[in-house]
Amino acid sequence: MSKKYFGTDGIRGRVGEFPITPQFVMNLGYAAGRVLANAEHTSGERSAVLIGKDTRISGYMLESALQTGLIAAGVDVYLAGPIPTPAVAYLTRTLRLQAGIVISASHNPYEDNGIKFFSAFGNKLPDDVEHQIEAGIEEPVTIDAPGNLGKARRLEDAVGRYIEFCKGTFPASMNLRGMKIVVDCAHGATYHIARHVFHELGAEVVAIGVQPDGKNINHGYGATAPANLQKAVIEHRADIGIALDGDGDRLIMVDSQGVLFDGDHLLFVIARYRKDQGSMVGGVVGTLMTNLSFEHAMRRMDIPFLRARVGDRHVMELLQEQGWQLGGENSGHIICLDKHSTGDGIVSALEVLQALRTQNLTLSEAAGDLQLYPQVLINVKVARGVDCLGHTEVRAVVEEVERNLDGRGRVLLRPSGTEPLLRVMVEGENKLLVEQSAQQIATVVRRLAAL
C-alpha cells in the first residue's frame, strides 16, 4: 500500500508549503505520539522520543511544533539540538527510547526541511508503523487529561556522547598522529562535532564550513559542493580532505592533490580492505546508480554484489535481507552495519582512514584500481501520467543502445520520485559512445513526452 506523506527518507518539502508547515508537523507529532503511546513499556513507563535537527533556521519552528504534538499525545521528549542524523539513531538506541526524530532536509538548500524517524533500534521506521502514523495525521489533536501530558527536557551531553561513539568505532590500537586533515561540515549538523573526533584521535585538523547561520547549510560547502574542500586541502598541504553533508550521513573525500573520490571509490577502499583482512561478511550492496566498474571490481575480488533501488533505505533493507554488513551509494551514503545501524559520514571516514593507516597507503593509491566508467545522466521533463518507459519506441532505442554497448556498458531509465522527470543514464567504457547513446535515448523520450 502506497504512503501519502512518507517518502523513502521521511517527509520533505519547502518550508511554509504543505506539508512542511507548523500545523501539519504538530499533527504529525501527535499522530506519531499516539502510535508510540499505544506501545508503552510493560512496566508502565511513559514512552519517550529524541528530537535532533540540523542547522536550518526553520528547525526552531518545526522542533516546537513537533514537540507540542508529541507532548499532547502523552509522550516525553528529549531535545538534542543541532546534531547529525546518525547521532539521533545512536542515541535513540542507547537511551532505550521508543523513537528518534530528525528535523532535516539533508543535502537540500536551507529553504527546504523535513522530518524522518528512527525506530528504537536505530533503523528507519517499518512501513507498517509509517502507515499507522499517516492514518492518524488528519485526526484532531485532543488531550485526555492535563496530568497525562508528556514532558520535554534538554539532553545536555548529546554531542559528547556521539563524539565518543564515533571514536569508539576506530581501533584502540591505532591513531591519526602525523596526519593533516581538512574537514568540511557544510555549515551543517556536524559543525561542532567532526573536527573534535579527528583531532582527539591525533590528527591535525583544519575545519571549514563550520559557521552556520541558519541559511548557509550546504551552500558552497559540503559533500554536494566540494570545490572549497579541494582548494583548502591544497592550500593547507593536507594529507586528505573529508566533506560531509548538512545532516552528516553522506561522505566525499579528496586526496592531497585535491582529486575527488565519491561514494563508489570509498566503498571500494573499505570493501577491498575488509576482503584482504578476512573480515568481509557476505558481499556488498550498491544501487542502480553504482558505477558498472565497481561491479566489475567486486567480481574480480570474488565479492558478491547486489544492486538495490536508489536510496539508503533500500540499501539497508537488502543488507538486512542478505545478512551482509557493507553497502552504499555513489552519492556518499555508506553503511557499515557492524559499526552503526545507519549510514554515518564520520564513521565511514574513519573506516577509510583505518584502511589507509593499516596498509600505509594514500587515498589515491588505495582507490586507484577503481577507474570509474564514464556516466552520462540526462533529465528529461515528462508530464505526470505519461508512461514513456512502456512505449515501444523507447524500448526499441534502449535495445539498440544496449546492442551497441555490447556488454561493456549499461542503460538505466528511472522516473524521479519528486519531480516530473525521467532520468536517462548511460555508462560504459567508451565515453563518446556513452554520450551519443544517452542523447539518442533522451531525444526519443523528449519527442514522445511532447506528443
Per-residue pLDDT reduced to its tens digit, 250-278: 999 999 999 999 999 999 999 999 999 99
283 and 387, same domain (yes or no): no
Count of structural domains within the chain:
4
* Owner of C-alpha cell 536510496: 311
pLDDT attached to residue 383: 79
188 and 203, same domain (yes or no): yes
pLDDT attached to residue 46: 85
pLDDT attached to residue 417: 67
Lowest-pLDDT choice from 128-132, 162-166, 195-199, 381-385: 381-385
> Does some domain include residue 171?
no
Domain edge (last residue) among 211, 230, 259: 259
Distance CA 114, CA 308 (A): 24
Distance CA 75, CA 51 (A): 12
318 and 251, same domain (yes or no): no
**Mean pLDDT for the stretch of residues 49-62:** 98
Within 13 A of 95's CA, how many CA atoms are on the CB side?
A: 26
pLDDT attached to residue 41: 47
pLDDT attached to residue 44: 61
245 and 295, same domain (yes or no): no
Percent of the residues in the chain that have a pLDDT greater than 70, as a whole number: 97
393 and 438, same domain (yes or no): yes
The one catalytic residue among 104, 106, 331, 341: 106
pLDDT attached to residue 37: 76
Distance CA 2, CA 131 (A): 9
Residue 104 has which C-alpha cell? 532535516
> Does some domain include residue 165?
no
Distance CA 126, CA 134 (A): 13
**What 3-state class would DSSP assign to 330?**
coil
Domain edge (last residue) among 157, 189, 218: 157
> Does some domain include residue 363?
yes
Please state whether beta strands 305-308 and 260-261 pair in parallel, antiparallel, or not at all (unpaired).
unpaired
Distance CA 174, CA 357 (A): 8
Asked whether the predicted pLDDT for residue 451 surpasses 80, the reply is no
96 and 227, same domain (yes or no): no
Q: What is the DSSP letter of 118?
A: E
Asked whether the predicted pLDDT for residue 388 surpasses 90, the reply is no
What's the domain range around 225? 176-259
pLDDT attached to residue 1: 62
53 and 150, same domain (yes or no): yes
CATH of residue 381's domain is 3.30.310.50
**Paired strand residues for 112:** 14
Where does the pLDDT of residue 429 fall: very low under 50, low under 70, confident under 90, or very high at 90 and above?
Answer: very high
**Mean pLDDT for the stretch of residues 130-141:** 92
353 and 424, same domain (yes or no): no
269 and 359, same domain (yes or no): yes
48 and 183, same domain (yes or no): no
pLDDT attached to residue 43: 52
Q: What is the DSSP letter of 187?
A: T
Tell me if 379 sits within 8 A of 423, measured CB to CB.
yes
pLDDT attached to residue 114: 97
b (16+ CB within 10 A) / e for 53-72: bbbbebbebbbebbbbbbbb
Give yes or no: 106 in active site.
yes
Per-residue pLDDT reduced to its tens digit, 143-181: 878 998 999 999 999 999 999 999 999 999 999 999 999
> Does some domain include residue 239?
yes
Contacts of 414 (CB under 8 A, 6+ apart): 288, 310, 422, 423, 425
Asked whether the predicted pLDDT for residue 2 surpasses 80, the reply is no
> Does some domain include residue 3?
no
Lowest-pLDDT choice from 7-16, 190-199, 326-335: 7-16
248 and 307, same domain (yes or no): no
Lowest-pLDDT choice from 37-51, 105-119, 122-136, 293-307: 37-51
**Mean pLDDT for the stretch of residues 186-190:** 98
Where does the pLDDT of residue 42 fall: very low under 50, low under 70, confident under 90, or very high at 90 and above?
Answer: very low
**Paired strand residues for 285:** 306, 327
124 and 33, same domain (yes or no): yes
**Mean pLDDT for the stretch of residues 85-91:** 98
> Does some domain include residue 26?
yes
> Does some domain include residue 163?
no
Find, among 150, 1, 148, 178, the residue nearest to 69 by Cα.
Answer: 150
**Paired strand residues for 101:** 51, 117
Angle at alpha carbon of residue 262, lines to 257 and 263, rounded to 5°: 145
Domain edge (last residue) among 259, 292, 312: 259
Asked whether the predicted pLDDT for residue 343 surpasses 90, the reply is yes
Asked whether the predicted pLDDT for residue 196 surpasses 80, the reply is yes
CATH of residue 270's domain is 3.40.120.10
Tell me if 247 sits within 8 A of 84, measured CB to CB.
yes
Distance CA 7, CA 39 (A): 24
If you count DSSP H runs as helices and E runs as strands, how many of each does the chain have, helices first?
14, 18
> Does some domain include residue 5?
no
